[in-house]
Structure formats: structure tokens, C-alpha cells
Amino acid sequence: MANLDGNIEKVLVTKEELEAINARLGAQITKDFEGKNLLVVGILKGSIYFLADLTRYIDLPLKLDFLAVSSYGGGTRSSGAVKIIKDIDIDLAGYDVLLVEDILDSGRTLEYVSKMLSARGANSISIVTLLDKPERRVVDIHPDYVGCDVPDEFVVGYGLDYDQEYRNIPYIGSLKREIYE
């Protein structure tokens, strides 16, 4: 990644650490969802790399679906309002839903999505997030599975973007300040 690495301040989670996280979470989820009716729902776009790798460590029959949402607000800060851009296709009745996120920040996205989906008759809703910034939480939401906590820095890679770029970096890193300031 000679071209993209130059804008990275520090590597926070290496490729090898991501692999170990996926193996650990996949084994735990396999144990917990055995005998259940698993529907894995990825929240686009940030979750795609994590979802693709994690599900290959889940040794159970499962189905995949995707949701696209956007947070929007008047100013530079999100209003907390979340809008559905692309809904899931599968009727949720009877499914044990596992929501997959790349990062849990304020928690507003997951709070909105999990409330919306549980109102549709899912059997259960669980949350797995690769990264967590617990000190940034503004709503009361608790993930069932967490890859690791990260400091409150601008993190990119492995699905996470800055202005839609950097998602394809194969590790998690913090972005140099001069890039976004």
C-alpha cells in the first residue's frame, strides 16, 4: 500500500490482529447461534470488509442482507436523525438478526437500526462491531460482540473511510491530521 500508507499517522490494528479478531468473534458467534435462524445484516458501506471476513469464520448456515443508512443534519454535527437509503430485502419474521458494523461511535446509527428491525418481528437482534469508541457514546446501546476499542482518533481502513476514500487499506490506521484539517 505504498501510495496510501503515506497518509497514515499510526497503524492501530494490523492485518494479523484483524484476522485474530475475526477468528475469535466467528467462533463465539458460531457457539451462540447454533440451532438459531441466523440472518447477518451488514450496514453499508463501512461494514463490508469486516462482514466478508467475519462470516467466513461463522461455521453455521446463515443468510446475508444489507442496509444502507445515512445520518444527516443541518450543520457540521449530525442531528442524530438517520435515514434509510436501502432497506433489507428479507422479511425478518422468525430470524435471529446479527447486525454488523465497522465502528460504534455515538451509537445513533445502531440505535435507530436495531429499533427499526426489532419492530418488524425479528426473533432477536444482536450487534457485532469491529471497533468501539465507548467514550463517544451519546445513546444507551450495548454491542454483544466487540473486536476492540479504539482511541478517539480519525480511523480509516478495512471499510472505514475519510470522504469515501481509504476503505481499501487492509488494516486500521489513524489518518494524519493534515489530511482532514
Minimum Å gap between C-beta 43 and Mn ion is 5
**Residue 83 burial class via C-beta count within 10 angstroms: exposed 0-12, middle 13-18, buried 19 and up:** exposed
What single letter denotes the amino acid at residue 101?
A: E
Site for Mg ion in 148-167 (CB under 5 A): 161
Alpha carbon distance 102, 36 (integer Å): 24
Site string for ligand PRP, 106-145 (x = CB under 6 A): xxxx------------------------------------
Helix 48-55 × helix 15-32 angle, to 10°: 60
Helix (H, G, I), strand (E, B) or coil at 31: helix
Task: Give which of Mn ion, ligand PRP, Mg ion, none residue 105 binds (C-beta under 5 to 8 Å, depending on kind).
Answer: ligand PRP
107 binds, among Mg ion, ligand PRP, Mn ion, none (CB under 5 to 8 A by kind): ligand PRP
Least CB distance from residue 87 to Mg ion, whole Å?
Answer: 19
CA distance 74 to 78: 7
Active site residues: 105
Residues near Mn ion, by CB under 5 A: 46
Residues near Mg ion, by CB under 5 A: 161
